[in-house]
Amino acid sequence: MLQNINASGVQGILAAVTGNQTSIQSGSVGILVTNSSYVTLDGQGENPNGPGIGSNGAGTINKNSSGAIDVENSNHILVQGWQMGANGLDNQPDWVTLDPSVAHWGVGGVRFFGVSNSIIDHNATNNCTNNPYSLFNSSHNTVSNNTTDYPFTMNFIVADGSSHNLLTGNVASTGDFFGYLVADALPGTATLATYGPSHDNAVVGNVSHTDGPTGSEKKAAVVPAFLSGFVVLNV
């Protein structure tokens, strides 16, 4: 856990978790960063030839019950080069009010809540639920060149007052419901009143394929009404 690291926000004062030999597993959250700035989390596995991680190995964050990396109320955070697998639980997502709490969505792969001017780049997730990459109430961030497969329920979500974020160069596949969701709660909900509307987000040059619910999900009636590779909802 990294808390109150460079809380004054002085540029150039850094804290870092690095190393392709790093392995974090079987906890609640792999790495938690709160109320901090200018922190680098580098698994050193960045693929120089394309999205995701390369063949030279990467730091791994696996089998954590809530998720891999949770960053809250922080700025100028860099998350790159990690291999994340089987993190998170099958929570009950709040499709109605989009309440961003981990009780509904978990941490999954990389979660930003109240984060600004930060980067999620060249990571790879597999089977991280409910959301491998999530931005809640977060603005002016870049999510780029990541790969993600087999989540329940989606691969990327941008919601709850998030604005001026850029998602680009990502490759998402096999989202049980959809690939990319940019959404806000319905007017009149407490969530919208608390965080305000999301706006001015750009989803450019990404790939989404093989998305959609399985037969067992349809039979269990856990499928939302909005299904697609890319969904923009109430924004």
Q: For residues 217-223, give the mean pLDDT.
A: 75
Where do the domains of the chain lie?
Answer: 2-233
pLDDT above 90 covers a percentage of the chain that reads: 67
Among 86-100, 138-152, 221-235, the minimum mean pLDDT is found in: 221-235
pLDDT tens-place string over residues 61-99: 999 999 999 999 999 999 999 999 999 987 788 988 999
Residue 148 has pLDDT above 70, yes or no: yes
Higher per-residue pLDDT: 226 or 171: 171
Residue 175 has pLDDT above 90, yes or no: no
Following DSSP, what letter does each residue of the chain receive, concatenated? -EESTTTT--TT--EEEE-TT-EEESSSEEEEEES-EEEEEE-S-B-TTSSSB-TT--EEEE--SSEEEEEEEEEEEEEESEEEES-S------TTT----HHHH--EEEEEEEEES-EEES-EEES--B-SEEEES-BS-EEES-EEES-SBEEEEEESS-BS-EEES-EEE--SSEEEEEE-PPTT-HHHHHH---B--EEES-EEES-S--HHHHHTT---S--EEEEEE--
* Confidence class for position 226, pLDDT limits 50, 70, 90: low
Res 235: pLDDT: 83
pLDDT tens-place string over residues 178-188: 899 999 999 99
